[in-house]
Structures are given as structure tokens and as C-alpha cells.
């Protein structure tokens, strides 16, 4: 999934309401009609931010929620404000980015695994260990606050001694720091090694050790904006902020609508489509609209389609903020194959397909722990149907860009094969179109971006991009 360009990055999530499970233990209401009896005391939460982080981790790893979902639904997190909220999000993200390493260290200290039912205690150990291994808090605070929270949560009270002993050992005994490759589940690492080799697989895993940079796409005049935003202009034209702000809406010129948040890699597919003013362009899977805005900014006649009505509203909001226009259409793009006329309707189509999104592991590190290869197969099947629809809707002579933020060849290779089998021609991406990323061009002329690229500059999301042309009809 692409980052919503209208929203702040994860360090400062926006509050929202609803959801389960229940918040802190204990009674919060005042009993009615009980004479002069004192209202029962609400147990004192010794550390609301760490408590919220632990609950986020328990939801994600035990209930397979995404981080975004957990942050939206978990009341202990939703109720935090300001710095506490930022700290809780930071702790949860840091725990997920180092999870495999943390679990390896915990396994070496625990005599036996915790029972399956010990959700809070297990999450508490993971968040506590993350603070120690990643140096996120002084050891006395990491250990002491974790023990306090173990005593605070009724379900984990019986584990308080164990939490104390294990975290103390991690804090005081010399530990061999696990290799970065353990940051990701071995299942995914093995797949990347098979696809790209051992060094590349290690590079992908190591990308989790760094906070992803925040990139912006601009409507015009990148140089001028770079100066006022304290940003670097990347070789591909995106802006990369030197400091990641807590709240992107506080950046100068945000209200002017002249830029939006979009990773440098995510900005390439729309650019490589190379549309011209007046062309009929379809953005098939458009929400939240980062690429729609790029296409609309060229002066093309853009239709943005998405199956999800709520997400299309975000495209509308993003277009409104940036004063750009596109026709919006809520529909399953697979139906295009039935409705397009024989000649095809569009001069250019961008198929930024729904995918396993393993390329965005730096921003969504939980996805590696809650997704499986079965998800890859499911997305590959959906992409096949979307490709069929895109090919039908493309005019002869028109161009199609297929893109996915997935690292899995099972999602990219079949799409390329399908395009070729349908009679499309691959239009090789030229080195000058991807400056400083020439090495990412494959033998077929597609682009395969890995998260370890530009590591010294702050990395990038993983993407695969293929560009096709539909042959003119022969009469």
C-alpha cells in the first residue's frame, strides 16, 4: 500500500475511535446509590505510552491486525496525545522492525516459551527487549517500567517476576547482537535470496534498521521548494526532507497544496508512463491518489478508478488540496474488460496494482509477520484479471505501466508474460529515465527497485515497474 499523501507519517498518527479490546484494567465508573461509599479507584497506569505500545504489539502479532488498524482501534493508543502518542508509535514500530532479532534474544534467555495465552506478557517482553536491544530507553527505565506494567495488567501479574528476570539479564549480560537478517522472517528472507541473491536479501532486511526518509512529489519548481523545506532534490526529481517532521501538515507550503507525500520509488511509475496534456489517461487502482495527482499535474484528462469508495474520497480530498482535477470512479476495474470498446478507450493506463506490498516493509514491518506466501498468490491472481482489463481498455498505440510495491517475482513475472502473450510490446525503460538507478533496469527493460537502494541517502520502497505499448491495428 502506498502512503496516503494527505496524511502524516506514522510517527504522529491521527486519532480515531472505535474498536476492541477494552482499555486499562479496573473500574472506571462511579457506582450509583451506594450511600457515602467512596468511588472505587481506577488503577494507576504507570506508563500509558509503553502500555499502549504493548497492546498494539499484542493485537498485531496475536490477532494479525495491521499497525494502522491497531492504532485506529486500540483505545489505550487513541487516548494518548502529543509526545506519548509519538513515543508509543515509535516503540511499536521499532519492535516490529527488529522483531526476529528480539525473539532470538528472548528465546536464548527463556527456559521455555510463554504459554500461547500470555498475550500481554509476551508483547511486554518484546517491547521491553526492543528498548534494550535498540537502545531506545535507559535500561533502568526499560526494565522498571515493563515490570510495573506487568503488575498493572491483571493477566500478566503472574509474569512480573519473569519479566523482571529476563529483561534484567538482557540489560546486564553481554549478548551477541543477532544479525540484521533476523529482522525479517526467514521465510521471506529465503524467497529474496532465491530471487536476488544473499547480499541483496541481507540488504533488504538491513533496510529495517533505518527510519525511512520522507519524500515529497511536487507540482512544479522542485528547486525552489527544496530550499524552503530544507530538502534534497533527488536525481529522479522527488524531494527528500533532511529532517522527518512529526506532522507533515506543519511543513511550510502544506496549505498551498504544492506537494504531497510520496516515496521516491512510488513516484516513478506515473513518470515512466510519460503522458502528455490532453491524453485520456486511466489510473486503474488510484487510491489514495499519489499517482493520480502526478498524472493530473501533467494536464492529461485523468480518470481515477478504485473499488473502495472510502478510499476514493481520499483521492478527492487530495485533489482538492492540491487544486488538481480528475474524474473519479468507484468501480471494480476488472469490469473494464467487459465495458471497453474493441478499439480501447485510453491513450495511457497506469495499473498500480493491489499487491503483497512487501516492498514497503520499512513502513509496514508488521506485514512480513502477518502475511504469507498464500497472499502473494492471491494478489497475483487478482493482478492477472486487472491486466486483462487494462489490455482491453488500452487504445492501439497506447501505453500501459504495470507497477507493484512488491518484492515478489511471482507478482511481477506473470504480469510481464501476460502482457507479451496478449501481443503487447515491452517499451524498455531507458537509463536516462531513472538517473542514479540505472542498475535497477532488468534485462527485459523493466525496473526492479529494492529497499536497500540509495541506502546512504535513506533508502526507498521496493517496486517493480514494466512499461508496455499496444500495437496499432493492422487493417
- If one asks whether residue 359 binds ligand SAM (CB under 6 A), the answer comes out as no
3-state class (DSSP) for residue 253: coil
Using a 10 angstrom Cβ sphere, with 0-12 exposed, 13-18 middle and 19 or more buried, the burial of residue 471 is: exposed
Q: Which is nearer to ligand SAM, 94 or 305 (CB)?
A: 305
Q: What is the torsional sign of CA 153, 140, 108, 54? A: positive
Applying CB under 6 A, the span of 40-48, 169-177, 330-338, 452-460 interacting with ligand SAM comes to 330-338
Applying CB under 6 A, the span of 91-99, 307-315, 416-424, 452-460 interacting with ligand SAM comes to 307-315
Q: How many chain residues touch ligand SAM (CB under 6 A)?
A: 19
- Residue of 69, 148, 308, 410 interacting with ligand SAM (CB under 6 A): 308
Write the DSSP symbol of residue 274.
Answer: -
- DSSP characters over 44-64: P-S-HHHHHHHHHHHHHHHH-
Residue nearest to ligand SAM (CB): 285
- Phi, psi (rounded to 5 degrees) for 457: -100, -10
Residue 428, CB half-sphere, CA atoms under 13 Å: how many?
Answer: 10
- Residue of 12, 210, 334, 457 interacting with ligand SAM (CB under 6 A): 334
Is 62 annotated as a binding-site member? Answer: no
* Active-site residue, selected from the candidate residues 405, 415, 429, 441: 405
Convert residues 267-306 into a mask of x (bound to ligand SAM by CB under 6 A) and - (unbound): ------------------xxxxxxx-------------xx
Q: Which is nearer to ligand SAM, 12 or 313 (CB)?
A: 313
Is 446 annotated as a binding-site member? Answer: no
Using a 10 angstrom Cβ sphere, with 0-12 exposed, 13-18 middle and 19 or more buried, the burial of residue 442 is: middle
Helices 82-97, 48-63: axis angle to 10 degrees equals 40
**Residue with C-alpha cell 527487549?**
129
Is 278 annotated as a binding-site member? Answer: no
- If one asks whether residue 375 binds ligand SAM (CB under 6 A), the answer comes out as no
> Quick one: cell of 252?
511550510
- The reply to whether 446 belongs to the active site is no
Q: Which is nearer to ligand SAM, 59 or 291 (CB)?
A: 291
Q: Which is nearer to ligand SAM, 204 or 287 (CB)?
A: 287
By CB under 6 A, the residues from 335 to 354 that bind ligand SAM are 352, 354
CA angle 141, 54, 91 (to 5 degrees): 60
**Which residues does the annotation place in the binding site?**
285-291, 306, 332, 352
Supply the residues annotated as catalytic: 405
Q: Which residues lie near ligand SAM (CB under 6 A)?
A: 1-2, 285-291, 305-308, 311, 332-334, 352, 354
Amino acid at each position: 500500500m502506498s502512503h496516503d499523501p494527505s496524511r502524516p507519517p506514522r510517527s504522529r498518527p491521527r486519532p480515531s475511535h472505535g474498536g476492541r479490546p477494552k482499555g486499562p484494567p479496573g473500574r472506571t465508573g462511579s457506582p450509583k446509590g451506594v450511600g457515602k461509599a467512596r468511588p472505587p479507584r481506577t488503577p494507576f497506569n504507570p506508563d500509558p505510552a509503553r502500555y499502549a505500545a504493548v497492546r498494539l504489539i499484542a493485537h498485531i502479532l496475536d490477532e494479525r491486525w495491521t499497525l494502522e488498524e491497531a492504532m485506529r482501534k486500540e483505545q489505550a493508543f487513541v487516548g494518548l496525545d502529543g509526545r506519548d502518542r509519538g513515543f508509543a508509535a515509535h516503540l511499536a514500530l521499532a519492535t516490529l522492525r527488529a522483531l526476529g532479532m528480539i525473539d532470538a534474544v528472548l528465546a536464548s534467555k527463556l527456559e521455555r516459551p510463554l504459554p500461547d495465552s500470555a498475550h500481554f506478557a509476551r508483547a511486554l517482553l518484546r517491547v521491553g527487549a526492543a528498548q534494550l536491544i535498540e537502545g531506545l530507553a535507559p535500561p533502568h527505565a526499560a526494565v522498571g517500567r515493563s515490570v510495573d506494567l506487568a503488575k498493572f495488567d491483571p493477566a500478566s501479574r503472574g509474569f512480573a517476576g519473569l519479566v523482571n528476570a529476563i529483561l534484567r539479564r538482557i540489560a546486564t549480560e553481554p549478548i551477541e547482537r543477532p544479525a540484521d537478517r533476523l529482522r525479517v522472517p526467514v521465510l521471506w528472507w529465503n524467497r529474496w535470496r532465491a530471487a536476488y541473491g544473499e547480499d541483496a536479501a541481507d540488504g533488504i532486511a538491513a533496510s529495517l534498521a533505518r527510519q525511512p526518509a520522507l519524500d515529497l512529489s511536487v507540482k512544479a519548481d522542485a528547486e525552489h521548494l527544496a530550499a524552503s523545506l530544507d530538502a534534497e532534490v533527488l536525481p529522479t526529481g522527488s524531494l527528500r526532507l533532511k529532517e522527518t517532521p512529526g506532522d507533515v501538515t506543519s511543513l511550510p507550503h502544506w496549505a498551498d497544496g504544492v506537494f504531497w507525500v510520496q516515496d521516491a520509488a512510488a513516484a516513478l511509475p506515473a513518470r515512466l508512463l510519460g503522458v502528455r496534456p490532453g491524453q485520456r489517461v486511466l489510473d486503474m487502482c488510484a487510491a489514495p491518489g499519489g499517482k493520480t495527482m502526478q498524472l493530473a499535474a501533467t494536464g492529461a484528462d485523468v480518470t481515477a478508478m478504485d473499488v473502495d469508495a472510502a478510499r476514493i474520497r481520499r483521492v478527492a480530498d487530495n485533489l482538492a488540496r492540491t487544486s488538481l482535477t480528475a474524474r473519479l470512479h468507484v468501480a471494480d476495474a476488472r469490469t473494464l474488460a467487459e465495458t471497453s470498446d474493441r478499439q480501447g478507450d485510453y491513450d495511457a493506463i497506469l495499473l498500480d496494482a493491489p499487491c503483497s506490498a512487501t516492498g514497503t516493509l520499512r513502513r509496514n514491518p508488521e506485514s512480513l509477520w502477518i502475511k504469507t506466501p498464500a497472499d502473494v498468490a492471491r494478489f497475483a491472481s487478482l493482478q492477472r484479471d486487472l491486466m486483462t482489463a487494462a489490455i482491453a481498455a488500452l487504445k492501439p498505440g497506447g501505453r500501459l505501466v504495470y507497477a507493484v510495491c512488491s518484492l515478489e517475482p511471482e507478482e511481477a513475472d506473470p504480469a510481464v508474460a501476460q502482457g507479451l502473450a496478449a501481443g503487447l510490446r515491452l517499451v524498455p525503460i531507458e537509463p536516462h529515465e531513472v538517473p542514479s538507478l540505472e542498475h535497477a533496469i532488468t534485462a527485459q527493460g523493466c525496473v526492479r527497485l529494492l529497499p536497500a537502494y540509495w541506502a546512504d541517502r535513506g533508502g526507498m520502497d521496493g517496486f517493480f515497474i514494466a512499461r508496455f505499448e499496444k500495437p496499432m491495428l493492422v487493417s
